[in-house]
Amino acid sequence: MQDAIIITIETMRLSCIIPAYHRHELTTRHVEECLKSTRVPDEIVVVNDGGDPSLRDMLPRSGNIIYARIEQDILWNFNGACNLGVWLSTGDIIAIEDTDHIPDRNLYKEGLEAFNGTIDRLGVYRKVVQISELVKPMEEWISDRNWGPNQMTSLMTRELYLKLKGQDERFGGNYGYMAMSWHDRYNNIFKARGNGKGRYYWAIVGDDGEPGLKRGMSERNRRFYRETSLAGHPQHPLGILNFQYTYERF
């Protein structure tokens, strides 16, 4: 019988998952800032969710970037993009990050220190910054307000993501499924949440966001999300990766 592998801060692998669409310059800046972190992720998985393929050639070649592109342009397929990113990753800790949520320099280093076997998810507070600030280095960004943690942007163990069964792609195209459904499912299985106060993402605002998307959740969608989370419905009958994709490592 093999001895159990003990994961420590020194051996813990971190995978950053960035679903992206048509905001290629912001996505590229996001990756560049990740690479300047005091604890650089072991891999950064950028999932181009059916967007213009030019993103591939805009990303830095650092040796730890995985670039994937979903061939179908499924409107707001955040659910599927996250599933694909986690599927391609190898990290013990998963950082799921929207394109417009850029990690502060020390977020990964201090965040990993919180995963000492007693928590499985770390909520992270956000400093709101106008996109016009991005002409300056991060150290000079000025925040105009703060937001609390976001259910859709956080650090969690791979084990938790698998226990939550990823994201249900029957709701691909409906913004906010994760925010609504995961809250209830997570409360049924979690060990403890970590308090991310003092650790920040920079939430970038002031551009047009993803074009053509309506982000509000209808009452109908809210009901679906709630019913799914409470009933523990299975994944899409065609599997959790219900699309065609390609990927490569830079």
CA gap 94, 114 in Å, rounded = 13
pLDDT of the chain along its 250 residues, tens only?
444 445 666 789 999 999 998 899 999 999 999 999 999 999 999 999 999 999 999 999 988 999 999 998 887 788 889 989 999 999 999 999 999 999 999 999 999 998 987 889 998 999 999 999 999 999 999 999 999 988 789 999 999 888 876 666 666 666 667 777 777 777 777 677 787 677 899 999 998 776 555 556 677 777 777 777 676 655 555 566 778 999 999 9
What is the tens place of the pLDDT at every residue in 56-114?
999 999 889 999 999 988 877 888 899 899 999 999 999 999 999 999 999 999 999 98
The domain 14-229 is placed in CATH, from the list 2.60.40.1180, 1.10.10.10, 3.90.550.10, 3.30.420.40, at: 3.90.550.10
> What percentage of the chain exceeds 90 in pLDDT?
51
Instruction: Give residue 53's pLDDT.
Output: 95
Amino acid identity at 43: E
Local structure of residue 2 (DSSP, 8 states):
P
Torsion angle of the four alpha carbons 109, 113, 115, 121, in this order, in degrees rounded to the nearest 10: -50
Residue 232 has a pLDDT of 61
Q: In 3-state terms, what secondary structure has residue 153? A: strand
3-class DSSP string for 114-143: HCCCCCCEEECEEEEEEHHHHHCCHHHCCC
The residues, any chain, with a CB within 8 Å of residue 66's CB and separated by 6 or more, are 43, 44, 45, 46, 88, 89, 247, 248, 249, 250
CB-based contact 125:53 (threshold 8 Å): no
Give the model's pLDDT for residue 57: 97
CA distance 191 to 181: 18
Query: What is d(CA 158, CA 192) in angstroms, rounded to the nearest whole number?
Result: 15
